[in-house]
Structure 1
Amino acid sequence: MASSSDTWMKEYNEAMKLADDINSMISERSSFPASGPETQRHASAIRRKITILGTRLDSLQSLLSKLPVKSEKEMNRRKDTLANLRSKVNQMASTLNMSNFANRDSLLGPEIKPDAMSRTVGLDNSGLVGLQRQIMKEQDDGLEKLERL
């Protein structure tokens, strides 16, 4: 069984690969025409991947806080590498004028939710469906809140 530290490193390496993929896609933008459907599709794909990467970074941050501390030095190293990657992602987002990505927390507040797995412990199928409906309602309420802004 892999330790949570190994899981964190695996997730981090996957996030780095995604960041490299996004960087190469941004570099490819110069080979596309200034406008047009193909250019828009490419830019949308980049934005989608940046959003996915942002979500992965949030997950890594959450995992980091749950890791058993081997040493303070190792924990600080991981925090620094995560902060550096988040900085890169914010730079990529600003390249594409994705200002809403960087301001997500300022719109909805920081996302502080219980771990999804801990919310499902002990639930049967109908309990899971009920939880899913509750989460969907919370998301709908959040969207309504955004629409009023």
Structure 2
Amino acid sequence: MSDIERRLSIGEVAERTGLSVHALRFYEREGLLAAPVSRDAAGRRVYHEDDVDWLTVCVILRGSAMPLPQIRRYTELVRAGEGNETERLDLLREHRQRVLDQMDQLRKCLDLINYKVGVYEDILDDRPQSVGTS
């Protein structure tokens, strides 16, 4: 059986993606999966490698602070297939700009923090070191 055909349990997918079982169910309910989740004869969710790959994309987009409605929209576009690449590109370009803006803001924060660390290190370096008595 090839990796593409391999069936994965919800626990295996949770472990591989870093998402909790609860989060996986939430993603499914919210329409964030590129393909419907299959069920086995007992009604348990069955995932495939393509699901893991897609969820990895979702985790990265979420980690970059993309709002769920935008991830859902991107998922809908992917699910719809060819012909909407311009809309997908626009969505990703807009998000990329937000990420770049966030990075710029974080750099400013880091600059301030580094400055303050330097101030306190200088203060502590200028204090006389106490010599212990033996």
Q: TM-score, normalised by structure 2?
A: 0.31
Structure number with greater Rg is 2
Q: TM-score, normalised by structure 1?
A: 0.29
